[in-house]
Amino acid sequence: MKPTDADNRQSAPQTSPLGQLLILTSIFFVNFIARIILAPLLPKVEVDLGLTHGAAGSQFLLISLGYFIALLGSGLVASRLTHKRTIVLSSVALGMALLGTSFGRGLWGMRLGLLALGMGAGLYLPSGLATITSLFSTRQWGKAIAVHELAPNLSFVAAPLVSEAIMAVFASWRMVFLLLGAAALLLAGVYARFGRGGEFCGATPNLASFRNIISNPALWVMMILFGLGISGTLGLYTMLPLYLVSGHALERSWANTLLALSRITGLGMALIGGWATDRYGARRILTAVFLSSGTLTLLLALAPTSWIAAPVVLQPLAAVCFFPAGLAALSMVSAAKDRNIAISLTIPVAFVIGGGAVPALIGFIGDVSSFSTGILLVGGLILAGAMLPRFLQFHQPSDLT
C-alpha cells in the first residue's frame, strides 16, 4: 500500500518551523545562485564562445524564459503533487539541468542547458512561499519572508567568490555548474526526508481562478513593481561584471570581488526591510525603495571610474529591501485560496522583464552606444516606479489566513 502524507509526517523527524524555514532557505540559495552564477562568469564565457555584449546578455533571457514557463505551470504541478513534492521535483530538475549545462558543448548546448535550468528553478517559489505562509502566522510573514530572502542576498555575495575560487582550482567555468548541480540534488534528498509543512496541494488552476485574479488591478501593479524590483537587483547584477570590465576596464577578479563586497550589507538590509515592512506597511516601504534605488542606479550609470565603487556598493542597500515588502504585498493582494496562483502569474512576467529583458537591453545598448546609457535608462524606470504602490489594494487580514 502506498504511504499517505499523514504516514510520511509521522515517520519523518519533526523539525521546528524555524528549522523548516532554514531548510527551505538553503534550497532557495542553491536555486537562486544557479540562476545568477553566469554573471561573474560572463566575461570569461563571452571570450570563450565569441559572443557580443548583446548575445551575452541574452543568455539571461533564456534562463528567464525557462523560469517563466515553469512558474506558469507551477500551480498545476502543485495541485497534483503537493507543495512539498513540487519543491523536491524543482531541486532534482535544477540539479540535472546544471549537470547537463556543465557537460554541454558549444553555444546551443549551453542555451538548452540554461533554458532547462530556468525551468527547474521556476517550480520552487510559489510552493516555497505557500509552505512558509502555512508555517507562520500573518503577523510573522514579514520576518519569515525576510529570512527566506537571505538566500538570494547571500547568493549575490557568494556567486562571484565561488566562481573565482572554483575557476582558480579547476580553470574551467563548467566546473562551477557541475558542483552546483550536485548541491541541488543533495538538498532535494534532504528535503524529501526531513521537510514538512507543505503536505497539501495548491489551488487547482481553472478559468474562474485566473479570471478572478487577472481582474484584480493590484495584481497588474504588482507585476510592474516586481519587474522593476528585479531589474534593480538581478537585472543590474547580471551585467555589472561585464559593465565594470568592458566599460571601466577593471580586472575580472577585482570586478567580481567588488561585486561580492557590494552585496554583503544586503544580508542585514533584507532583515531590516522585513522588520520595516511589519512596522510601517508594505506600501510605504515599496515607495521608499524605488525612490532610493532608482536614484542610486542613475549614479551608477553616471559615476566615473575613479569612484564607481561607491554606487556599486550603495545601490544594492536600497534595492534588496524590495523583496520582503514586495512578497508580503503580493501575498496580500489576493485571498489565501488564490495566493499560489497569483504568485505563479506575477513572478514569471516580472522575471522575464527584470531578469531577462533588462540584461539583454543593457547588453544591446552596450553594443550600439554604451553600458552607461542602458543603466541610465533602467534607473529612470525604477525611479518612476515609486508612483505605483499608492494604487495597491490589500485584502483584509481575515481574508489572508
- The answer to whether 142 and 274 are in contact (CB under 8 A) is yes
323-339 burial, b at 16+ Cβ within 10 Å, e below that, comes to bbbbbbbbbbbbbbebb
DSSP H or E stretch at residue 167: helix 150-170
Angle between helix axes 53-81 and 106-122 (nearest 10 degrees) is: 40
DSSP state of 265: T
- Measured in whole angstroms, the distance separating CA 372 from the mean position of its chain's CA atoms is 24
Name residues whose C-beta falls within 8 Å of residue 5's C-beta, 6 or more positions apart in sequence: 82, 199, 200
Indicate the length of the chain as a whole number. 401
What CA–CA distance (Å, rounded) separates 150 from 324? 10
Which is nearest to 339 in space by CA: 22, 127, 69, 71?
Answer: 127
Predicted confidence at residue 14, as pLDDT, reads 61
Residue 258 in contact with residue 312, Cβ under 8 Å?
yes
Neighbours of 17 (CB within 10 A): 15
Q: What is the pLDDT of residue 33?
A: 93
**Could you tell me the residue ranges of all domains in the chain?**
15-400
Name the CATH architecture for the domain at 15-400. Answer: Up-down Bundle (1.20)
Cell numbers 528549522 correspond to 19
Q: How far is CA 176 from CA 104, 221, 283, 398, in A?
A: 13, 37, 39, 46
Residue 168 CB partners (closer than 8 Å, separation 6+): none
Give me the sign of the Cα torsion angle 99, 102, 103, 109: positive
Q: What is the largest CA-CA distance in the chain?
A: 69
- Nearest C-alpha neighbor of 380 from the set 266, 326, 302: 302
Q: Cell digits for 76?
A: 498545476
3-state percent breakdown (helix, strand, coil) of the chain, nearest 5:
85, 0, 15
pLDDT of residue 20: 83
d(CA 379, CA 290): 10
pLDDT digits (tens, 9 = 90+) for 145-201: 778 878 887 888 899 999 989 988 887 888 999 999 999 999 999 888 887 776 667
Could you tell me the three cell numbers for 159?
A: 556567486
| Residue 323, C-beta contacts closer than 8 angstroms, at least 6 positions apart | 145, 149, 152, 229, 233, 270, 273
Query: 400 exposed, middle or buried (CB, 10 Å; 0-12, 13-18, 19+)?
Result: middle
**Is the CB of residue 119 less than 8 Å from the CB of residue 325?**
no
Question: What does DSSP assign to residue 137?
Answer: -
- The alpha carbon of 175 is separated from its chain's Cα centroid by a whole number of angstroms, namely 22
pLDDT along the chain (401 residues), means of 10: 44 68 91 91 81 79 88 79 87 93 80 91 85 76 78 86 88 88 93 76 65 76 91 89 87 87 77 82 90 94 90 88 84 70 78 88 87 92 91 58 38
pLDDT for the residue 296: 94
Q: Are 130 and 81 in contact (CB under 8 A)?
A: no
pTM, two decimal places: 0.75
Q: Which cell numbers hold the place of 2?
A: 502506498
Q: How far is CA 368 from the centre of its chain?
A: 29
Q: Who's near 220: CB < 8 A, 6+ residues apart?
A: none
> Is the Cβ–Cβ distance between 362 and 375 less than 8 Å?
yes
